[in-house]
Amino acid sequence: MLELLNLQRLHRVHGWLHRRGRLGRPRALSFCGGSGGECRQQLRHPSIVLGEALLELELETGLLRHALVELPARVADHVADQDADREPPEERREPVVRGNRPGSAQRAEGDGADQHAGECADRDSGTSDSAGLRLVVRDERLDGPVCLVPLRCHVFFIGLRSVALECSNRPVTLTVINPATEAPLAQLEQAGVEETDGAVLRAKAAFPAWRALAAADRARLLRRLATLVEEHGEELARLESRNVGKPIGGARGEVGMVAQVFHFYAGAVDKHYGETIPVAGGEAFTFREPLGVVGLIVPWNFPLNIASWKLGPALTMGNTVVLKPAELTPLSTLRLAELALEAGIPEGVLNVVVGKGSIVGTRLVEHPDVAKIAFTGSTEVGRLVMSGAAGTIKRVTLELGGKSGNVVFADADLERAAAAAPYAVFDNAGQDCCARSRILVERSAYDRFAELLIQATEALKVGDPEDDETEMGPLISAAHRATVAGFVDGEPLYRGRTPAGKGFWYPPTLVEATNDDRIAREEVFGPVAALIPFAGEAEAVRLANDTPYGLSGSIWTRDGARALRVARAIDTGVLSVNSNSSVRVTTPFGGFKQSGFGRELGMHALDGYSEVKSVFFSTEG
Contact between residue 293 and residue 319 where contact means Cβ atoms under 8 Å apart: yes
| 166 included as an active-site residue | no
Amino acid at 540: A
Q: Determine the Cα–Cα distance for residues 276 and 235; give it in Å rounded to an integer.
A: 47
The residues near 441 (Cβ < 8 Å, ≥ 6 apart) are: 408, 449, 450, 531, 532, 533, 534
The residues near 244 (Cβ < 8 Å, ≥ 6 apart) are: 179, 251, 300, 301, 302, 303, 329, 428, 473, 476
Q: Determine the Cα–Cα distance for residues 48 and 139; give it in Å rounded to an integer.
A: 12
Q: Determine the Cα–Cα distance for residues 314 and 107; give it in Å rounded to an integer.
A: 51
Which of 52, 58, 399, 600 is the catalytic position? 399
Name the residue among 556, 555, 475 with its Cα closest to residue 508.
Answer: 475
Contact between residue 313 and residue 341 where contact means Cβ atoms under 8 Å apart: no
Beta-carbon count within 10 A of 471 CB? 18
Contact between residue 499 and residue 267 where contact means Cβ atoms under 8 Å apart: no
Q: Determine the Cα–Cα distance for residues 105 and 10; give it in Å rounded to an integer.
A: 13
Q: Determine the Cα–Cα distance for residues 126 and 52; give it in Å rounded to an integer.
A: 27
> What sign does the dihedral 276-278-283-284 (CA atoms) show?
negative
Which of 433, 434, 442, 471 is the catalytic position? 433
Q: Determine the Cα–Cα distance for residues 99 and 58; give it in Å rounded to an integer.
A: 24
Helix axes 303-316, 248-268, angle to 10 degrees: 0
Contact between residue 575 and residue 552 where contact means Cβ atoms under 8 Å apart: yes
For 407-467, the DSSP string reads: EE-TTS-HHHHHHHHHHHHHGGGG--TT---EEEEEGGGHHHHHHHHHHHHHT--BS-TTS
| 433 included as an active-site residue | yes
Contact between residue 40 and residue 168 where contact means Cβ atoms under 8 Å apart: yes
Contact between residue 320 and residue 210 where contact means Cβ atoms under 8 Å apart: yes
> Which contiguous run of DSSP H or E holds residue 155?
strand 146-156
Q: Determine the Cα–Cα distance for residues 100 and 117; give it in Å rounded to an integer.
A: 13
Q: Determine the Cα–Cα distance for residues 84 and 26; give it in Å rounded to an integer.
A: 6
Question: What's the burial of 153, exposed, middle or buried (CB within 10 Å: 0-12/13-18/19+)?
Answer: buried
Q: Determine the Cα–Cα distance for residues 175 and 181; give it in Å rounded to an integer.
A: 14
Query: What is the chain's alpha carbon radius of gyration, rounded to the nearest angstrom?
Result: 28
Q: Determine the Cα–Cα distance for residues 369 and 546; give it in Å rounded to an integer.
A: 40
CA angle 569, 573, 577 (to 5 degrees): 65
Backbone angles phi, psi at 217, to 5 degrees: -70, -40
Backbone angles phi, psi at 285, to 5 degrees: -150, 160
Catalytic residues: 399, 433
